């Protein structure tokens, strides 16, 4: 199977993982997205370096190479035997790619961004952030609270910190694709503390602990 064209189902899996922007259980693909990926095709995606696979429970995640392939699908032609739904999907993807190019927004930035529906606006990547959209710790806390609790509900701070880490992780994944930013694993694994491991961000199939930003 290696070297052959990707099947429609394989392409749909890569697109779904890209849109979700995070690791996805196989049960989600099967029960929610309606995509049944057999083991040979899943192993093929893994062997090509497009996905990382975790067993028990079965979870799939795009690698850096997989992100590149999935982004290519945004401008790709309809694959053979994609069916009516597949054809409509690729027309929509082509429109989305044209829109992103027009706005100057990178696909990786769009699909790793998580925001409230009321703030769902796209701006060109080169635009300067306004005062109201500039990162503010208090507003970030309020947003994280709103994602996991109802107004006025008492929420344990442990859950709030978990929600905040998810937002920070998504931002770090996006930043890792920006020029001048490197987020890498610590090669001295034995030196890592429990706090180091808890603070790591998962990118591709690696936990990464160190960040470098070049001005």
How does DSSP assign 172-192, residue by residue? HHHHTTSTTEEEE--S-GGG-
> Which region among 22-36, 38-52, 101-115, 123-137 has the lowest average model confidence (pLDDT)?
123-137
Provide the pLDDT for residue 131.
43
- The tens digit of pLDDT for each residue in 163-200 reads 888 888 888 888 888 888 888 888 888 888 888 888 89
Provide the pLDDT for residue 41.
93
Is residue 162 predicted with pLDDT exceeding 70?
Answer: yes
Which has the higher per-residue pLDDT, 184 or 108? 184
Which has the higher per-residue pLDDT, 124 or 79? 79
- For residues 60 and 26, the answer to whether their CB atoms sit within 8 Å is yes
Cα atoms in the 13 Å half-sphere on the side-chain side of 79: 16
CA distance 47 to 49: 5
- The tens digit of pLDDT for each residue in 28-53 reads 898 888 889 999 999 999 999 999 99
Is residue 14 predicted with pLDDT exceeding 50?
Answer: yes
């Amino acid at each position: 199977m290696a070297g052959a064209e990707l099947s429609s189902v394989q392409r749909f899996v890569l697109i779904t993982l890209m849109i979700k922007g995070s690791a996805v259980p196989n049960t989600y693909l099967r029960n929610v997205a309606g995509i049944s990926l057999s083991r040979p095709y899943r192993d093929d995606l893994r062997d090509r370096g497009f996905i990382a696979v975790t067993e028990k429970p079965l979870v799939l995640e795009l690698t850096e190479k997989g992100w590149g392939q999935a982004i290519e699908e945004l401008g790709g032609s309809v694959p053979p035997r994609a069916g009516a739904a597949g054809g409509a999907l690729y027309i929509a993807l082509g429109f989305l790619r044209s829109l992103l190019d027009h706005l100057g927004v990178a696909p990786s930035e769009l699909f790793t961004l998580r925001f409230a529906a009321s703030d769902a606006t796209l701006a060109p990547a080169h635009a300067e952030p306004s005062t109201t959209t500039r990162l503010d710790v208090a507003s970030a806390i309020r947003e994280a609270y709103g994602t996991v609790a109802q107004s006025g509900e008492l929420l344990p701070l442990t859950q709030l910190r978990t929600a905040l880490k998810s937002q920070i992780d998504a931002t770090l994944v996006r930043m890792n694709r920006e020029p001048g930013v490197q987020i890498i694993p610590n090669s001295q694994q034995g030196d890592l503390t429990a706090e180091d491991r808890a603070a790591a961000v998962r990118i591709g199939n690696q936990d990464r602990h160190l960040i470098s930003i070049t001005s």
